[in-house]
Amino acid sequence: MRRGQVSLDFLFAVTLIAITMLNIAYIANIETGHARTFDITTRLKIFSVDVRDTVVKGYSVGDGFKIKKESPIPLKSDSDSIVITLIDPGDLIKVTAVIEGKTYTTYQKSPVPIYATSSVVLKRGQEEFWIVATYNEKEGKLYVTLQASS
């Protein structure tokens, strides 16, 4: 084998290694994005279950129940937000988040009645809210609602 052949083989091997490394970096970047999406989705799902369970707890404890909740995800930019909504027709709990420009939505069916639609928006600097139960004597109903933290 000549000297020129060894240099050509070496150059070819280095090129293959470089292409392989670029492909590995590309795949790692894609997987990191998928992992981030999975993390956000999982946190929101767990949060929606926690809100549902707290609504049930408020309904069972009764008038005067009040508990503070906070965002499950740090809201880093001004465009990030989480909207939590208790929906009257259908007894649904909807959590919609806009994180890093992507929108995520999850629903939970409430096992207890929701008599009034209420909603709260969490933003950077305003990442807390209250779940409050109040009894309406006139209607004879217990209202569990969301209130912004002041």
Q: For the segment 40-87, what is each residue's pLDDT rounded down to a tens digit?
A: 999 999 999 999 999 999 999 989 999 999 999 999 999 999 999 999
Strand ranges for the chain from DSSP E: 66-70, 81-87, 92-99, 102-109, 118-123, 128-136, 141-148
In the chain, what percentage of residues exceed pLDDT 90?
75
Q: Where are the domains of the chain?
A: 3-148
Residue 141 to residues 26, 35, 62, 110, 130: CA-CA distances in angstroms? 57, 44, 10, 16, 19
For the chain, how big is the Rg over CA atoms in Å?
Answer: 25
Cα gap 140→73, rounded to integer Å = 37
Nearest CA-CA partner of 58 in 46, 67, 71: 67
Is 32 strand, coil or helix?
helix
Q: Is 97 exposed, middle or buried (0-12, 13-18, 19+ CB in 10 A)?
A: buried
Cα gap 22→17, rounded to integer Å = 9
110 and 93 in contact (C-beta within 8 Å)? yes
Predicted model pTM? 0.81
4, pLDDT greater than 60: no
